[in-house]
Structure 1
Amino acid sequence: MKAFNKSVILYSTILIVAMGLHSCSNSKAEKETKEEISTVNAFLLQQEPLSDTLTIAGELLAFQQVDLYAKMNSFVRQLTVDVGSKVNKGQLLAVMDAPEMNAQQDVVSSRMQSQEAIYMASKATYDRLLETSKTPGTISQNDLEQAEARKNADYGQLQASKAMLRESKNNRSYLEIRAPFSGVITSRNVSQGAFVGVGAGAVPLFTLQEQDKLRLIIQVPESNAGAIQLGQRVDFTVRSIPEQIFTSKAARLSGALDNRLRAQRIEMDVINKDNNLLPGMIPEVQLVLQASTKNTFVVPQSALLRSSQGTFIIKVEKGKTIWVPVQTGISSGDRISIFSSLSLQDTLISNATEEIRNGAVMKGQLKIVQ
């Protein structure tokens, strides 16, 4: 009987302890479901300009570059320049030789002279008949018209011969290779006496580059493509002169993204009168990225909540916390631009953490800090 009473007492004690623990557990869970936020710092959302510096590798190219080819099958008679030669526009670079062209021009010239003689004879005949026809009944109208037609036909043949002679002389001018613009000869691929041809597989005689003015080419990533404007200043350095900072301005924007790089091509014009810079150099470019103030908000980095679900800003509205998804733009120090459905003067938590749950009721004091 005593053993039975002890068992009842022990069972009752265990039951009471279990109920107590269950009650504590329920009380703790209820407490956790109600987000209690003590005094927290917040700020009012504002728009402001924000800039950052993007360092990117570029490429220097000649402002103009051309490969100069022979204009017809010929031999190199004379080369007047070599690699490194500075030339002016229109300067003679090479003289070619095509012996068959001399014979062709002689044939065309002789043909023109013959046609000219035929025309002069037919013209003289027509002029005599015309003068004679002034006496009534001496020359029939038909004979006069035939003489005139013959004269006109011979005149047409003469003009065609003259055109062929001009063409032959123009072709001879093709034997002189001249510079299309001022620049530097950076490559010579033939020697005197070499045969050069035209068409597929032809080898250029020279490569000419304009180096007094260069193109600086950069590829700006998609995320920053809209932050570069025409006329914007661009600074860059090169490895050969690391202590010198060169300056240029954005001159041309492609207005489209490269399908492979997903970047926008931007070109700058670089004056290079001292020839300190060479085409082919890879400069390090410093771009100041300017964020647009239109529909662009700037917040502290600490206000961003980065979680596995995305990036959020915690907004306080009507006493509750709301996680608002945002996209980030450029940053500078502890400030970053964001894009979202927020509005000016929205109240945002300064130090966002996952402990501040979405939809939680604010309990406590909210301190606005600017």
Structure 2
Amino acid sequence: MKQNQYKLYRTQGLMLALLFVLSACHQEKSNVPHGTTNKKNEVQVSVVHPVLDQPYFSLELPGELKAYEEVVLYPKVKGFVKKIMVDRGAKVTKGQLLVVLEAPEIIQQYMSAKSDEQKFQEDYIYSRQSYERLKKAALKSGAVAEIELDRAKSKLKKDSAAFISVKAKTNASAQLQQYLKITAPFDGVVTEKNVSAGALVGDGSQVALLTIAQTQKLRLTVAIPEKHAQSIYNGIKVSFTVKNYPGKTFSSNFSRKSSVLDQKSRAVVTEFDVQNQSGILGGGEYAQVKLNMRRPSSTLWLPASSIVTAQSGVFVLKVENGLAESVPVSLGIRKGELQEVFGDINPQDHVVKVGSEELTPKTKLLIK
């Protein structure tokens, strides 16, 4: 029986020794950072070279469709709405009469100005004829005193100036009459009608008569974030969808952009003209826009596995004279397994393919 106990204790001791050895091996293996360590304490790593590339990439952003032109019509003069020819939703053409106002005092002012103009015109004609007769008579020596000729010439100039002044007032009064008729400034559709016949408008009243929008052509406006603002180029094409027509895709081309970054949104407002002769789009819709963009010049790309994100920041590890060196980087766009990076690296550098926080700076590295 003692012999059996001895064998049992011996077996347990061997098992404990084996477990200790396995634990030590596991501990040693866990201390090796993403590579194998040789006798010189060098960590073997795989490296890659940053690649210069200028690929196209897609970006999805919200946008808004707006009328290509839109105007709110206010009356220039005070008056009553005599007749309004259109209603909300009506299509109008450039120059079409929309609203007629009635202002009797303006008509009276014009008639008074016209009467004054006629009177001063007759005075001017009489003065001119008198001066011409005296001037002709003065050709005979002693027939007309020189002072009489000068007096006639002075009266002619005075009457001429008075006639020109009154004629200008008549033209101004006539122009006020033109303001009583309001016409469409361009082809479009009436989107708002705020008054009816008989309403008093103008001269301090802030009520607009009509709002007209041009919808045969629309503006698709998209705010491009600051980090992508330089990726907009002439000829860029976009596709977009709207909730009104699920499953239908529309397209457009780049038209213009603001050159200054908006300080509130930190974005560049970009416009794409959308042809809408069919009228399928009304304007005012929100759109989901897909842009096919490209950097203006080539940038550096690395495998996403090379990027290390830690509490201290985002960095990559490059091999410099056999030692690990941490290089802070900022990230751009990502395409598949490749990540765009910006930092103090170049295409000739050896960057660790699989980065890790365990590879601290000055760690001895051996390139596989």
TM-score by length of 1: 0.85
Q: Mean alpha-carbon deviation: is it higher for 71-80 or for 150-159? A: 150-159
Partner of 1:65: 70
For residue 190 of structure 1, the aligned residue among 182, 192, 195 is 195
Shift of 1:230: 3.0
For residue 331 of structure 2, the aligned residue among 299, 303, 328 is 328
Q: Secondary structure at the match of 2:190?
A: strand
Q: Secondary structure at the match of 2:52?
A: coil
Q: What residue ranges of structure 1 are gaps of 5+ in the alignment?
A: 1-23
**1:158-307 correspondence runs (5 A):** 158-199=163-204, 201-294=205-298, 296-307=299-310
- The change in CA–CA distance for 1:146 and 1:293 in structure 2 (over 3 A counts) is closer
**Deviation string for 1:144-194 (max 9, x for gaps)?**
111121122112212222222222111111111011111111001010111
Partner of 2:113: 108
Q: Secondary structure at the match of 1:109?
A: helix
Q: Which amino acid aligns with 1:316?
A: V
Q: Secondary structure at the match of 1:171?
A: helix
Cα RMSD after superposing both structures: 2.1
* Alpha-carbon contact 2:49-2:348 (below 8 Å) kept: yes
Q: Secondary structure at the match of 1:90?
A: coil
For residue 97 of structure 2, the aligned residue among 92, 96, 100 is 92
For residue 359 of structure 1, the aligned residue among 359, 362, 368 is 362
Q: Secondary structure at the match of 2:46?
A: strand
For residue 347 of structure 2, the aligned residue among 334, 341, 344 is 344
* Alpha-carbon contact 1:56-1:285 (below 8 Å) kept: yes
For residue 313 of structure 2, the aligned residue among 303, 310, 313 is 310
Q: Which amino acid aligns with 2:292?
A: V
* Alpha-carbon contact 1:51-1:330 (below 8 Å) kept: no
Q: Secondary structure at the match of 2:365?
A: coil
**Quick one: distance in 2 between partners of 1:291 and 1:113?**
72
Q: Secondary structure at the match of 1:257?
A: coil
* Alpha-carbon contact 2:43-2:364 (below 8 Å) kept: no
* Alpha-carbon contact 2:236-2:293 (below 8 Å) kept: no
For residue 139 of structure 1, the aligned residue among 124, 137, 144 is 144
The count of corresponding residues between Structure 1 and Structure 2 is 335
* Alpha-carbon contact 2:307-2:314 (below 8 Å) kept: yes
Shift of 1:322: 1.4
* Alpha-carbon contact 1:252-1:266 (below 8 Å) kept: yes
Partner of 1:15: none
Partner of 2:3: none
**Quick one: distance in 1 between partners of 2:187 and 2:170?**
32
* Alpha-carbon contact 2:45-2:365 (below 8 Å) kept: no
Partner of 2:51: 46
* Alpha-carbon contact 1:327-1:338 (below 8 Å) kept: yes
**Quick one: distance in 2 between partners of 1:46 and 1:293?**
13
**Quick one: distance in 2 between partners of 1:239 and 1:116?**
68
Q: Secondary structure at the match of 1:243?
A: coil
TM-score by length of 2: 0.86
Shift of 1:51: 3.4
* Alpha-carbon contact 1:298-1:336 (below 8 Å) kept: yes
Shift of 1:126: 2.2
**Deviation string for 1:105-141 (max 9, x for gaps)?**
1111111111122223223322332233233222111
**Quick one: distance in 2 between partners of 1:362 and 1:40?**
7
**Quick one: distance in 1 between partners of 2:153 and 2:53?**
88
Quick one: percent identity of the two aligned structures? 33
Partner of 2:15: none
**Deviation string for 1:241-279 (max 9, x for gaps)?**
122211112222212222221112111111111111122
Shift of 1:293: 4.0
